[in-house]
Protein backbone atom coordinates (compact mmCIF):
# COMPACT_ATOMS: atom_id res chain seq x y z
CA UNK A 1 0.00 0.00 0.00
CA UNK A 2 1.27 3.28 -0.90
CA UNK A 3 1.94 6.12 1.34
CA UNK A 4 -0.77 8.22 -0.21
CA UNK A 5 -3.24 5.45 0.43
CA UNK A 6 -2.06 5.19 3.99
CA UNK A 7 -2.36 8.96 4.41
CA UNK A 8 -5.84 8.86 2.99
CA UNK A 9 -6.76 6.02 5.34
CA UNK A 10 -5.28 7.95 8.25
CA UNK A 11 -7.28 11.05 7.23
CA UNK A 12 -10.39 8.94 7.00
CA UNK A 13 -9.65 7.43 10.40
CA UNK A 14 -9.08 10.89 11.87
CA UNK A 15 -12.33 12.12 10.29
CA UNK A 16 -14.07 9.06 11.63
CA UNK A 17 -12.57 9.51 15.11
CA UNK A 18 -13.36 13.23 14.93
CA UNK A 19 -16.94 12.25 14.91
CA UNK A 20 -16.50 10.59 18.29
CA UNK A 21 -14.64 13.40 20.03
CA UNK A 22 -17.94 14.64 21.49
CA UNK A 23 -18.68 11.22 23.04
CA UNK A 24 -17.54 12.20 26.57
CA UNK A 25 -19.84 15.24 26.39
CA UNK A 26 -22.64 13.06 25.05
CA UNK A 27 -21.98 10.54 27.83
CA UNK A 28 -22.13 13.30 30.48
CA UNK A 29 -25.37 14.59 28.92
CA UNK A 30 -26.77 11.03 28.78
CA UNK A 31 -25.82 10.50 32.45
CA UNK A 32 -27.43 13.82 33.35
CA UNK A 33 -30.56 12.85 31.40
CA UNK A 34 -30.46 9.43 33.10
CA UNK A 35 -30.25 11.16 36.51
CA UNK A 36 -33.07 13.50 35.59
CA UNK A 37 -35.13 10.54 34.36
CA UNK A 38 -34.43 8.75 37.66
CA UNK A 39 -35.57 11.86 39.56
CA UNK A 40 -38.64 12.05 37.36
CA UNK A 41 -39.36 8.35 37.89
CA UNK A 42 -39.00 8.76 41.68
CA UNK A 43 -41.22 11.86 41.57
CA UNK A 44 -43.68 10.02 39.38
CA UNK A 45 -43.69 7.07 41.79
CA UNK A 46 -44.20 9.44 44.73
CA UNK A 47 -47.02 11.18 42.86
CA UNK A 48 -48.51 7.78 42.03
CA UNK A 49 -48.41 6.87 45.74
CA UNK A 50 -50.00 10.23 46.59
CA UNK A 51 -52.62 9.67 43.89
CA UNK A 52 -53.41 6.20 45.28
CA UNK A 53 -53.63 7.65 48.80
CA UNK A 54 -55.91 10.41 47.50
CA UNK A 55 -58.07 7.82 45.71
CA UNK A 56 -58.23 5.80 48.93
CA UNK A 57 -59.13 8.95 50.92
CA UNK A 58 -61.84 9.81 48.36
CA UNK A 59 -63.23 6.26 48.57
CA UNK A 60 -63.22 6.43 52.39
CA UNK A 61 -64.85 9.86 52.25
CA UNK A 62 -67.51 8.56 49.86
CA UNK A 63 -68.11 5.59 52.14
CA UNK A 64 -68.44 7.92 55.16
CA UNK A 65 -70.71 10.17 53.10
CA UNK A 66 -72.91 7.19 52.20
CA UNK A 67 -73.04 6.20 55.87
CA UNK A 68 -73.86 9.79 56.81
CA UNK A 69 -76.59 9.87 54.14
CA UNK A 70 -77.98 6.65 55.58
CA UNK A 71 -77.88 8.11 59.09
CA UNK A 72 -79.55 11.30 57.86
CA UNK A 73 -82.22 9.25 56.09
CA UNK A 74 -82.75 7.19 59.26
CA UNK A 75 -83.04 10.40 61.29
CA UNK A 76 -85.45 11.85 58.72
CA UNK A 77 -87.58 8.70 58.96
CA UNK A 78 -87.51 8.88 62.77
CA UNK A 79 -88.35 12.58 62.65
CA UNK A 80 -91.26 11.97 60.27
CA UNK A 81 -92.51 9.18 62.53
CA UNK A 82 -92.17 11.45 65.54
CA UNK A 83 -94.01 14.24 63.70
CA UNK A 84 -96.82 11.80 62.86
CA UNK A 85 -96.98 10.70 66.50
CA UNK A 86 -97.03 14.33 67.64
CA UNK A 87 -99.81 15.13 65.16
CA UNK A 88 -101.77 12.09 66.29
CA UNK A 89 -101.18 13.05 69.91
CA UNK A 90 -102.29 16.61 69.23
CA UNK A 91 -105.36 15.31 67.43
CA UNK A 92 -106.13 12.98 70.33
CA UNK A 93 -105.53 15.83 72.76
CA UNK A 94 -107.97 18.02 70.82
CA UNK A 95 -110.55 15.22 70.87
CA UNK A 96 -110.03 14.75 74.60
CA UNK A 97 -110.46 18.49 75.14
CA UNK A 98 -113.65 18.40 73.07
CA UNK A 99 -114.87 15.41 75.06
CA UNK A 100 -113.99 17.15 78.34
CA UNK A 101 -115.78 20.29 77.17
CA UNK A 102 -118.76 18.23 76.04
CA UNK A 103 -118.69 16.40 79.37
CA UNK A 104 -118.51 19.74 81.19
CA UNK A 105 -121.38 21.05 79.08
CA UNK A 106 -123.28 17.82 79.66
CA UNK A 107 -122.56 17.94 83.39
CA UNK A 108 -123.64 21.57 83.47
CA UNK A 109 -126.82 20.61 81.64
CA UNK A 110 -127.36 17.71 84.04
CA UNK A 111 -126.76 20.02 87.01
CA UNK A 112 -129.06 22.65 85.51
CA UNK A 113 -131.73 20.01 84.90
CA UNK A 114 -131.25 18.59 88.40
CA UNK A 115 -131.52 22.08 89.91
CA UNK A 116 -134.60 22.76 87.78
CA UNK A 117 -136.17 19.46 88.80
CA UNK A 118 -135.28 20.12 92.44
CA UNK A 119 -136.78 23.61 92.26
CA UNK A 120 -139.87 22.30 90.52
CA UNK A 121 -140.23 19.55 93.12
CA UNK A 122 -139.69 22.05 95.94
CA UNK A 123 -142.11 24.49 94.32
CA UNK A 124 -144.71 21.72 93.97
CA UNK A 125 -144.01 20.60 97.53
CA UNK A 126 -144.25 24.20 98.72
CA UNK A 127 -147.44 24.73 96.72
CA UNK A 128 -148.90 21.55 98.21
CA UNK A 129 -147.77 22.62 101.68
CA UNK A 130 -149.20 26.10 101.17
CA UNK A 131 -152.41 24.56 99.76
CA UNK A 132 -152.57 22.32 102.85
CA UNK A 133 -151.98 25.32 105.11
CA UNK A 134 -154.59 27.29 103.16
CA UNK A 135 -157.01 24.40 103.57
CA UNK A 136 -156.29 24.36 107.31
CA UNK A 137 -156.70 28.14 107.44
CA UNK A 138 -159.94 27.86 105.48
CA UNK A 139 -161.10 25.08 107.77
CA UNK A 140 -160.14 27.05 110.85
CA UNK A 141 -161.71 30.19 109.40
CA UNK A 142 -164.87 28.22 108.69
CA UNK A 143 -164.80 26.83 112.24
CA UNK A 144 -164.19 30.32 113.60
CA UNK A 145 -167.06 31.65 111.53
CA UNK A 146 -169.25 28.81 112.75
CA UNK A 147 -168.19 29.41 116.31
CA UNK A 148 -168.70 33.14 115.87
CA UNK A 149 -172.16 32.46 114.54
CA UNK A 150 -172.87 30.22 117.50
CA UNK A 151 -171.44 32.84 119.86
CA UNK A 152 -173.57 35.52 118.23
CA UNK A 153 -176.58 33.26 118.43
CA UNK A 154 -175.89 32.44 122.09
CA UNK A 155 -175.33 36.09 122.88
CA UNK A 156 -178.54 36.93 121.15
CA UNK A 157 -180.40 34.37 123.15
CA UNK A 158 -178.85 35.49 126.35
CA UNK A 159 -179.22 39.11 125.66
CA UNK A 160 -182.03 39.04 123.95
pLDDT digits (tens, 9 = 90+) for 118-157: 999 999 999 999 999 999 999 999 999 999 999 888 888 8
Q: Which of 16 and 122 is assigned the larger pLDDT?
A: 122
Q: Which sequence spans correspond to the domains of the chain? A: 3-159
**pTM of the predicted model, to two decimals?**
0.40
Total residues found in the chain within this entry: 160
pLDDT of residue 1: 64
Percent of all residues in the chain with a pLDDT value above 90, rounded to a whole number: 19
Backbone angles phi, psi at 21, to 5 degrees: -70, -25
**pLDDT tens figures, 73-103:** 888 888 898 889 898 888 888 889 888 888 8
Amino acid sequence: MELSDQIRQADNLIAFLDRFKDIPEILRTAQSIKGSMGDLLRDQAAEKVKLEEAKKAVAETQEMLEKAKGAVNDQAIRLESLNRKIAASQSAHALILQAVQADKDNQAAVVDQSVRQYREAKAKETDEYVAGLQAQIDALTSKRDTLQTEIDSLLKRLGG
